[in-house]
Amino acid sequence: MRPLTLRTKLTLFYSITVSVLLSGFGLVYYRVLSVGLDRDITQDVIDRASGLRGYLRFEEGLPVFDYDPNDPDELSFINTATRYYQVYEVRTGMLLAESDELRATGIQYLPQDLIRYAQIPPSLIDLQTDQGKIRLRNEAVPVEGDIYLLVVGASMRQMEDALSSFLKALAWLIPSGVLLAAIASWFMAGKALQPVAELGKVAGEIAVTSLNRRLPVRGTNDELDQLAIEFNDTLARLEKAVGEMKQFTASISHELRTPLAVLRGEAEVALMEADSTDQYRRVLSSQLEEFEKLSRMINQLLTLARAESGEVAIAHEPVNFSHMARSLAEQLEPVAASKDVSLSWKCDPDVMLRGDASWIERVILNLADNAIKFTRPGGHVWITVTRNGHDAVLEVADDGIGIVPEAVPHIFERFYRADPSRANRADGAGLGLSLVKWAVDQHDGSVQVESKPGGGKRFVVKIPLLAEEGWPRDQ
Ligand code: ADP
């Protein structure tokens, strides 16, 4: 079965709610009405019986009502109260007097009933007759040694008629109320859901080529506006990601084209001009450098692509950060010295981390390599490892050529080189810092770059210390 639409569900929900409410109200009102009418009739019968009893006299054994016919109140009471009445002599079981209307119903008590009613306090009974239901009050009247039974009644027909008309009205009202509610909620739901449909339509039209489009925000600050805002944020992130992808693809093509053009140019020149083994050897060794540069770049790219696609699993093992930084610095010292750059290091003992040794090594190497690369002969590079609160802190500083301020926010982007003319000289593809940033993020750390007073740069990496080392961790 096809699932119901939201509009149908809302309509059903409102209709069922309205029908339950109307039926509930109807039933409660019916009950209140019937109890009230019933009570009124009982009170009426009791009043009539006790009033009539006051006027009842017996003359020669026959009942008469002794009242003043000139008093309109008395007259009207007697007229009403005597519509349904009977007087019995209990001893003989004889019916002494009765009203025409009660006679018409055919009600007559048996002698044993009379005896029973005469012995108990005044009672009420309901009897069903051809003229409808009648409520009767039976009161024993003792007069000079004899006992009479005064029976006074009231018809319950009016009450039954009122209740049945009320039920008939309900039988119309409830279905028409529900129908009205269904129609109204169908339109309301349609109207309320219209903006959703519009949002859906606009959202459906957005494709990769039109990621700059945004859903309309109506300014009502309701749930739909929130949805549109969230969706627009997602679109903005997608647009940025797709933009970066395009930029990345363009950069790769560009980065590959240059060395390929160099290789091709060298090969052509060699083919045209070289005629000795020595000349070919020179060209080939120059090409080898280009090949190395290319394969280094492709390796870095592959690593970055694998890292960002989540294929790389990061180990979580204890790493002695101080030990690692010190031994890398020792290895790099000859490289720095070959460029006439002095490298010094200072590491607090046993600063421990939990992480992936090979990625942390890559972080230190990339930063130190850059510092050496971008420092002029005679310059200085410093590597320090310290603890700061709950963090292990690596600082790689140099007094080299520095970075222009406007380039600083971009240096962690892929293929970004602060100054291409200088970068070419230092032959990097602009991928090293992207890898550093990715690795530091994977270790829940941060990497920042600061300008050093007097020139040069300082890269500061913070990674949480190993918890087991005994420092309390903030939650
Ligand atoms: P590359 O492989 O080109 O070095 P990176 O991603 O490591 O790529 O660095 C990006 C750019 O940041 C570099 O091209 C350079 O312009 C700048 N940079 C990085 N480290 C330093 C530094 N210590 N001093 C000056 N500039 C730096």
Mutate to test the pocket of ligand 1, among 364, 376, 411, 425 (most ligand atoms within 8 A of CB): 411
Condensed to tens digits (0 to 9), the pLDDT of residues 98-133 reads 999 999 999 999 999 999 999 999 999 999 988 889
pLDDT per residue as tens digits for the range 243-288 = 878 877 887 887 788 788 888 988 898 888 878 888 888 888 888 8
Closest residue CA from atom 12 of ligand 1: 411
Q: Is the pLDDT of residue 425 over 70?
A: no
Phi, psi of 410 (to 5 degrees): -105, -5
The encoded tokens of residue 178 equal 């529900």
The reply to whether ligand 1 has any atom less than 6 angstroms from the CB of 115 is no
The tokens describing 453, both together, are: 């007073």
| Residue of 402 and 349 predicted with greater confidence | 349
β pairing state of 380-388 and 342-347: parallel
Token code pair at residue 28:
């409660």
What spacing in Å lies between the alpha carbon of 406 and ligand 1's midpoint? 14
- 420: confidence class by pLDDT, cuts 50, 70, 90: low
Q: Which of 370, 382, 448 to mutate to test the pocket of ligand 1 (most atoms within 8 A of CB)?
A: 370
Check residue 271 and give its pLDDT: 87
Q: What is the pLDDT of residue 183?
A: 95
DSSP assignment string, 252-283: HHHHHHHHHHHHHHHHHHHHHH--SHHHHHHH
Backbone phi, psi, residue 147, to 5°: -120, 130
Give me the percent of the chain exceeding a pLDDT of 70. 96
Q: Is the dihedral of CA 198, 200, 201, 206 positive or negative?
A: positive
**Cβ contact 393:372 at 8 Å:** no
State pLDDT tens for residues 73-105: 999 999 999 999 999 999 999 999 999 999 999
DSSP count for the chain of H helices, then E strands: 11, 14
Mean of pLDDT over the chain: 89
3-state secondary structure of 146: strand
Q: What angle do CA 405, 411, 412 make, to 5 degrees?
A: 140
The string of pLDDT tens digits covering residues 322-373 is 999 999 999 999 999 999 999 999 999 989 999 999 999 999 999 999 999 9
Which structure tokens are listed for 218?
Answer: 């109506």
The pair of structure tokens assigned to 407 is 């380039």
Q: Which residue's CA lies nearest to atom 17 of ligand 1?
A: 418
pLDDT beyond 50 at 422: no
379 lines ligand 1 (CB under 6 A): no
Residues 434, 413: Cα–Cα separation, whole Å: 6
Atom of ligand 1 nearest to the CA of 400: 24
Return the pLDDT at 134. 94
Question: What span, in angstroms and rounded, lies between the C-alpha atoms of 364 and 428?
Answer: 17
Over residues 35-54, mean pLDDT: 95
Residue 414 CB–ligand 1 contact under 6 Å: no
Does the C-beta of 411 come closer than 6 Å to ligand 1?
yes
Choose among 6, 13, 14: nearest CA to 193.
6
Residue 423 has pLDDT above 70, yes or no: no
299-306 long-range contacts, CB within 8 A, separation 24+: 300/429, 300/431, 300/432, 300/435, 301/252, 301/429, 301/431, 303/435, 304/414, 304/431, 304/434, 304/435, 304/438
The closest of 453, 295, 466, 463 to 392, measured between CA atoms, is 463
Tell me the pLDDT tens digit for each residue of 163-189.
999 999 999 999 999 999 999 999 999
